[in-house]
Structures are given as structure tokens and as C-alpha cells.
Structure 1
Amino acid sequence: MTRHEPTAGALLWRLTNKWRAAVDKAVAPLGLTHAQYSLLATLYGQSLAGAKPSQRELADVSGMEPIYVSKLARTLEQNGLVRRSTHPSDPRAVQLEPTPRGVEVAREAVAIVRTLHEQLTASIGGTKSARYGDLVRTLRDLLGDQP
């Protein structure tokens, strides 16, 4: 039986699942899933610049599908972390902003995930290493994502 080297796709899939599970576990005490964290953290980051993005704009920034953003936003709203309202320039659009509690939870979650990020990248020198920078550039190239 011949053993084949895994493809980059297979390795990325495994790494993505490992990463998702680690973030799920890390943010669970805050009542968040990895997906909810991703949306809340992105929204929090946008709000620091004064933005109140629409669900569509947040989908574009986060890389999530708009229907998934809508579902996550409703859950975060039910949990008191996000406020959804009619967008002032487009009555068909829903505008999002973190609630004061959402800001608190986002800050705590971001700190937790940053620490986890350092742990998960320690084998390549952490997030400040040249290898990490190379990895990020490679992944952006594969995604066709511009900095």
C-alpha cells in the first residue's frame, strides 16, 4: 500500500477544523460559538471606526454568506449582544451595532482568541514571526484577498 502525501486542501481543511474547535472551546464560557465570535469581533472592529454596517456590508468584510450573517445577527440580538435596526439610507437593509454588553463580550473574546492565536502559531514562531507573515501572505494570495 502506497502512502500519499496530503494535499494542501486536505491540510487546510484539517487545520480549519482544528482552529474552529479550539476557538469554539475558548469562547464557549462567554456563550459564543466560533461563528458568533467571528461576526461579533468583526462588528466590534467596524464599530471602533464609528461604522454601523449593514448585514450585507458585514458579510462582505467577514467573508460570510449574507444569509448566515442574518442568522448569526438574530441570535446575537436575542442574546443582547447586537442591535439590529433599519438602515437609514436603505429601508430594505438591516444595520448592525454591538450593544454595550456586546462590546464587553467582544473585548473579552478578542483577548481570549488573541492568546489562543499565539498558542496555535507558536510552532512557527508566533504571530510576530517571519514565517507567520509568509503564511498570511500565502493564504491571502490563495484567497485572492488584497491587504
Structure 2
Amino acid sequence: MSETSTPVSGLVWRLSTRWRAAIDRAVTPFGVTHAQYSVLAPLSTLQRAGTRPSQRQLADFTGLEPLYVSKLVRSLEQAGLLTRTPDPADSRAMLLSLTDHGSEVAARATTAVRALQDEFTAPLGGVDSARTQALIDALRTLLEDT
């Protein structure tokens, strides 16, 4: 089968597999997995914006399943990268905060992932190119419609 006849699903799967593996390699030196990074980086973004999200809010922000976020949060807490405290406004919710070490790990891992994004998008003209933006727009459309 030629490259041009490969089904879209196969291409998306191959690209996502390659991307996840590359991120795992990039963030492993900082003691986290790709899955943990997918929670750590958005939490860092929210925290820098002055928000202390609940696990549910973080799940909504990332688009990940709440149960999956809960498991990742527990592992990050055990690693000393974040803390969970009860929400005074909702006894069922836990508020999340990065520790100082967690903030440092998130910053270093994000720098590594940004460099990886530059490398991955270079064939399209780089992160800020029109072709990369078109790809991002197309992927968002596909995610919204499924």
C-alpha cells in the first residue's frame, strides 16, 4: 500500500504514536511521563493565570476523562509535584496546586516539549506557519465533531 492510499485513521494513529513517544523521551529526564505531563503543564498554565483548579476543572480544561486525571493527580502528588486540598466551597472537590518542585519540573518539561514542537512542525514551516495553523484548525475541527 502506498503512502497516498493509507487511510486517515492510520496516519493519525501513526503520528499520535510518534508524538507520544517523542514527548515521553523529552520529559522522562524530568521524572514524568507524557501522561503526567498532560496534567502538569496545563495545571502550570492555570496556576500562572492565578487559578487554583479542582480536579474536575483541570479535566475539563485538558479534555481528559476525570477518572484519568484523578489517577494522574495521585501519582503527581506522590511524586511531590503537586498538592491536593479540600475546596472550602465544595466538600466533594479537591483543589490542585503545584509544589515549587512541580513548577520547576513543569517549566523545564515545557521547554523541552516546545523544542520538540519546533522540530515536529519544521516540515510545515515551523510552529507559527500558516500550514501548521491550518493543521491545528483541522485537528480542532475533528476533535469537536467527535
Normalised-by-shorter TM-score class: over 0.9
Q: Deviations over 1:24-82 (max 9, x none)?
A: 01100101100101100000000011111111110011111101100100100011101
SS in structure 1 of the partner of residue 86 of structure 2 = strand
Question: Match of 1:97, SS?
Answer: strand
1:45 and 1:14 map into 2 onto residues whose CA distance is 28
Instruction: Give the corresponding residue for 1:32.
Output: 32
Ranges in structure 2 where 5+ consecutive residues have no aligned partner: none
Q: Which amino acid aligns with 2:131?
A: R
Unaligned runs of 5+ in 1: none
Q: Partner of 2:115 in structure 1?
A: 115
Report SS of the residue matched to 2:5: coil
What residue is the counterpart of 1:103 in the other structure?
103
Aligned equivalents of 1:47 and 1:88: distance in 2? 18
Equivalent residue pairs, number: 144
Name the counterpart of 2:51.
51
User: How large is the RMSD of aligned CA atoms in angstroms?
Assistant: 1.4
Q: Normalising by structure 1, report the TM-score.
A: 0.94
CA deviation string 1:71-119 (max 9, x = no partner): 1001000111011111121110111111111111111010010001100
Shift of 1:6: 1.5
2:63 alignment partner in structure 1: 63
After the TM superposition, list the runs of 4 or more consecutive aligned residues in structure 1 that deviate by more than 2 angstroms: none
Match of 1:128, SS?
Answer: coil
CA distance in 2, matches of 1:56, 1:10: 32
CA distance in 1, matches of 2:70, 2:36: 11
